[in-house]
Amino acid sequence: MDYLRMRDIAEDLGSYAERFEGSWHVEIGPSGPVLAMRRPSKRREGMVRRVREQLDAQIISTHPGHICANGPQVEHPAIGRMRRPDAVVIPEATLDEEGLAVDATQVLAAVEIVSPSHPSNDYDEKLTDYPAMGIPHYMIVDPRTGTIEVHSEPCKGRYGSKEPYIFGDSVAFGPWTVETSEFRRYGRDR
């Protein structure tokens, strides 16, 4: 099925999902459009907020006119993918444009906080899709294990560099640093 047809199906699914309670999102992955319910935990949302705030504070000087946002879809029609990262670094002006998704060529970085129910989505599918989309930096934060992976140098559909970290580290993420001392694992308190 061609991407335009998949995109039409994704838009129809998104419109259909607006009738349901809860938070739903549509992605186009290797097997086509998928409608999924988002049930992010408070702890997961707290990590997304911490990452966004830290990156926003640094982006002002490294990439004026850009922000770290959560929510916008990212698409790359040539490879037939549309994803919704937990956070993305994009030009702020893209959020004022018409349409469903941000062009992947405008994305400087993507961040995913691994869900306890579907970790393969972040470690397998998105780890393949994001470099194929040309996204320069990808950070995977895993509250199940207290680990972080930073991927960079996309080339031929793969990232050429992978740097491992643990919660509590200062994480080098592209030209920015993310402090993770406040990150907490799932099911564990301080």
| DSSP-assigned beta bridge partners for residue 25 | 36
pLDDT of amino acid 44: 82
Rounded to an integer, what distance in angstroms lies between the CA atom of residue 119 and that of residue 138? 15
102: its two tokens: 């941000």
Report d(CA 81, CA 130) in Å as an integer. 9
- What per-residue confidence (pLDDT) applies to 30? 59
Note the pLDDT of residue 102. 93
Structure tokens given for 17: 């999902």
> Can you read off the two tokens belonging to residue 125?
């599918």
Enumerate residue ranges in the chain where pLDDT < 50: 35
State the sign of the Cα–Cα–Cα–Cα dihedral 149, 48, 60, 157: positive
- Counting every residue written for the chain, the total comes to 190
∠ CA 43-46-50, rounded to 5°: 140
**CA distance linking residue 68 with residue 117, whole number of Å:** 25
The pLDDT assigned to 124 comes to 85
Q: Considering only CA atoms, which of 142, 125, 56, 71 is closest in space to residue 102?
A: 71
pLDDT of residue 11: 62
Instruction: Please give the pLDDT value at position 119.
Output: 79
